[in-house]
Amino acid sequence: MNFIRLRKNSLCVENVPAHILAKKYETPFYCYSLSQLKNNFYSFSSAFRAIKPLVCFSIKSNANITLLKELKKIGSGADVVSAGELLKATKAGINVKKNSFFRCGEN
């Protein structure tokens, strides 16, 4: 399912025209589709359901606390590579036991 589409010559995110969002919020702004995010998470999780993995979202890819809280609600862990990213995941309420933490390049 695609949550970003053209409808009547207007770009829409989850059926909300982008020009309406631009009027409501100052531009530039970031716009996310929570439905698309959840759909992607569930699709990925179900592809590996036989092994029941812990799916961890990369904090480096997007550290938006609101988005991370939504991911936590659906069972996501966090992939963190720094203390700052760990702090973001913790702030979002993601259980430390649901984090993957890698340190690379240590001397």
Q: Per-residue pLDDT tens for 40-93?
A: 999 999 999 999 888 999 999 999 999 999 999 999 999 998 889 999 999 999
**Three-state DSSP class for 59?**
coil
Q: What angle do CA 70, 28, 73 make, to 5 degrees?
A: 0
Q: What is the domain range of residue 7?
A: 1-31
The DSSP 8-state label assigned to residue 51 in this structure reads G
In a shared domain, residues 84 and 46: yes
In a shared domain, residues 55 and 70: yes
In a shared domain, residues 13 and 60: no
Residue type, 17: P
**Three-state DSSP class for 2?**
coil
Q: Report if pTM > 0.75.
A: yes
Number of domains in the chain: 2
In a shared domain, residues 107 and 88: yes
Tell me which residue of 102, 99, 81, 103 sits closest to 90, measured CA to CA.
Answer: 99
In a shared domain, residues 38 and 73: yes
Check whether 39 has a pLDDT greater than 90. Answer: yes
Residue predicted with more confidence, 4 or 18: 18
In a shared domain, residues 75 and 41: yes
Q: What angle do CA 73, 47, 42 make, to 5 degrees?
A: 25
Q: Which distant-in-sequence residues (6+ apart) come within 8 Å of 9 by Cβ?
A: none
The DSSP 8-state label assigned to residue 95 in this structure reads -
In a shared domain, residues 64 and 90: yes
